[in-house]
Amino acid sequence: MPRIQLRITGDRDVFDDVLTAVHGIDRVERVEEIDDFMSDFRDDSSSQNLSDDMSSKTYTLEVEVPNERIGERVREIAEETAGTREAAIEFIGPDEIEM
Residue 56 belongs to domain spanning: 3-96
pTM above 0.85, yes or no: no
Helices 68-84, 12-23: crossing angle, 10 deg rounding: 150
pLDDT at 49: 53
Q: Are 62 and 4 in contact (CB under 8 A)?
A: yes
pLDDT at 35: 84
Q: Which residues pair with 62 in a beta bridge?
A: 5, 32
Rounded CA-CA distance 88/82 in Å is 7
Task: Dump pLDDT digits (tens) for 5-38.
Answer: 999 999 999 999 999 999 999 999 999 999 865 5
How many domains are contained in the chain? 1
Rounded CA-CA distance 57/59 in Å is 7
Task: Dump pLDDT digits (tens) for 83-98.
Answer: 999 999 999 976 444 4
Task: Dump pLDDT digits (tens) for 36-60.
Answer: 655 555 555 555 555 455 567 999 9
Q: Are 85 and 10 in contact (CB under 8 A)?
A: yes
CATH number at residue 57: 3.30.70.2690
